[in-house]
Amino acid sequence: MKAAPARSAKDLRLSFEFFPPKTAEAEGQLWETAAALAAYRPEFLSVTYGAGGSTKAPTLATVRHLIQTMRLPAAAHLTCVGATKAEVNAVVADFQAVGVRHFVALRGDPPGGVGTPYRPHPGGYANAAELVAGLSAIADFEISVSAYPEKHPQSPDVAADIDMLKRKVDAGATRALTQFFFDNDHYERYRDRVRAAGIAIPIVPGILPVHNLAQVQKFAGLCGATVPAWLASRLAPVDDRPQERMAVAVDLAARQVEDLVARGVGEFHFYTMNRATLVSAVCDRVGFAKAGLRATGAAA
């Protein structure tokens, strides 16, 4: 990998992704994680939204707590699968009411699950571009969208992916967050093609520090990402030795970020798995700016 150039930590921007907790114990862990990562002064913390609105209530409760209690900038994921436009707009109004001004607009997985055919809901937003247009018509939201350096698994090719991204940008998207990847060449080739297509919004790389190799390999298989053999060969031998596994995972993720910085990237989106230790270690290793202050209300 390329060596990272001298840089100022303040020039690197961060965001973190969480999923809504399912138990009281998981909820407490999430608030502790958010408080710990808030020290890196993220641009925003995003909270995922289950297929067909299955996590609407916990997603709403999570972003409400982050915004109103912890005073942190939070973005709500939003999908349009399995709902009419009126139903989606009602969800948007609920999020607005708790202070959400930033959405991560996604089509969402088909109701039958990943790998099954996608059919737009009658009377609904047909795809993410239409959802972005709908959000833009409601208010002047900040709107992030998805991007796929290795191609969306349901797209015929990368060109179709980039065409959809352009449609989302034309509809009002202001940032693209990529699916996780481990080979930075995939990202750089994709970014070059995006720029050649006249798309100027930030293409923010999604970084997934590996907590569990088998789990990541499963995720990758579902979303069309690649887990390189060299990464698996580094992690597999230490899979049953937690301290060594964490050290290797930190090294791999930090090297990936540093190489991306060398390629001109200044903004990163971390998939946290609702845990702070590994992500914090990567951020410290890279040298992201740290405020040294925790958010308030973590245990409220």
Evaluate if residue 214 carries a pLDDT over 60.
Answer: yes
Mean pLDDT (whole number) for 75-93: 93
159 contact partners, CB below 8 Å, separation of at least 6: none
What is residue 206's predicted lDDT score, i.e. its pLDDT?
98
Mean pLDDT (whole number) for 255-283: 97
What is residue 3's predicted lDDT score, i.e. its pLDDT?
45
Question: What are the two backbone dihedrals, phi and then psi, of residue 167, each rounded to the nearest 5 degrees?
Answer: -65, -40
What is residue 179's predicted lDDT score, i.e. its pLDDT?
95
- Predicted confidence (pLDDT) per residue in 123-180, tens digit: 889 999 999 999 999 999 999 999 999 988 888 888 999 999 999 999 999 999 999 9
Evaluate if residue 2 carries a pLDDT over 50.
Answer: no
Evaluate if residue 4 carries a pLDDT over 50.
Answer: no
What the block records as the tokens of 9 is 């930590």
Q: Of 73, 62, 134, 61, give the one whose Cα is nearest residue 102.
A: 73
- Predicted confidence (pLDDT) per residue in 92-124, tens digit: 999 999 999 999 999 876 665 556 667 777 888
**Hey, CA dihedral for 190, 220, 76, 41, is it positive or negative?**
negative
Please count the other Cβ atoms lying within 10 Å of the Cβ belonging to residue 156.
Answer: 9
Q: Which residues pair with 207 in a beta bridge?
A: 270
Answer whether 134's CB lies under 8 Å from 108's CB: no
Query: Chain-wide mean pLDDT for the chain?
Result: 90
Evaluate if residue 277 carries a pLDDT over 90.
Answer: yes
Q: How far is CA 131 from CA 88, 128, 174, 241, in A?
A: 9, 5, 14, 45
CA distance 159 to 293: 44
Question: Which uninterrupted H or E stretch holds 46?
Answer: strand 44-47
Of 154 and 191, the structure prediction assigns the larger pLDDT to 191
What is residue 119's predicted lDDT score, i.e. its pLDDT?
74
What is residue 89's predicted lDDT score, i.e. its pLDDT?
96
What is residue 147's predicted lDDT score, i.e. its pLDDT?
95
CA distance 241 to 205: 29
Confidence of residue 290 (pLDDT cuts 50, 70, 90): confident
Q: Which residues pair with 44 in a beta bridge?
A: 15
Instruction: Let me know if 17 is a catalytic residue.
Output: yes
CA distance 130 to 25: 37
Evaluate if residue 298 carries a pLDDT over 80.
Answer: no
CA distance 234 to 253: 12
CA distance 140 to 151: 29
Torsion angle of the four alpha carbons 90, 95, 97, 103, in this order, in degrees rounded to the nearest 10: -110
- Predicted confidence (pLDDT) per residue in 59-73, tens digit: 999 999 999 999 999
> Domain total for the chain?
1
Residue 209 belongs to some domain of the structure: yes
Q: How far is CA 207 from CA 60, 272, 298, in A?
A: 25, 9, 25
Residue 56 belongs to some domain of the structure: yes
Instruction: State the catalytic residue, choosing from 17, 130, 142, 150.
Output: 17
What is residue 222's predicted lDDT score, i.e. its pLDDT?
84
Mean pLDDT (whole number) for 242-265: 96
What is residue 111's predicted lDDT score, i.e. its pLDDT?
62
Name the residue range of residue 264's domain. Answer: 10-286
Total-model pTM: 0.91
Q: How far is CA 16 from CA 1, 124, 255, in A?
A: 24, 29, 18
Cα 161 to chain centroid, rounded: 17
- Predicted confidence (pLDDT) per residue in 221-238, tens digit: 888 899 999 999 999 999
What is residue 1's predicted lDDT score, i.e. its pLDDT?
44
What is residue 285's predicted lDDT score, i.e. its pLDDT?
95
Q: Of 232, 226, 233, 241, give the one whose Cα is nearest residue 214.
A: 232
CA distance 161 to 157: 7
55 contact partners, CB below 8 Å, separation of at least 6: 19, 20, 48, 49
Evaluate if residue 8 carries a pLDDT over 70.
Answer: no
CATH of the domain at 162: 3.20.20.220
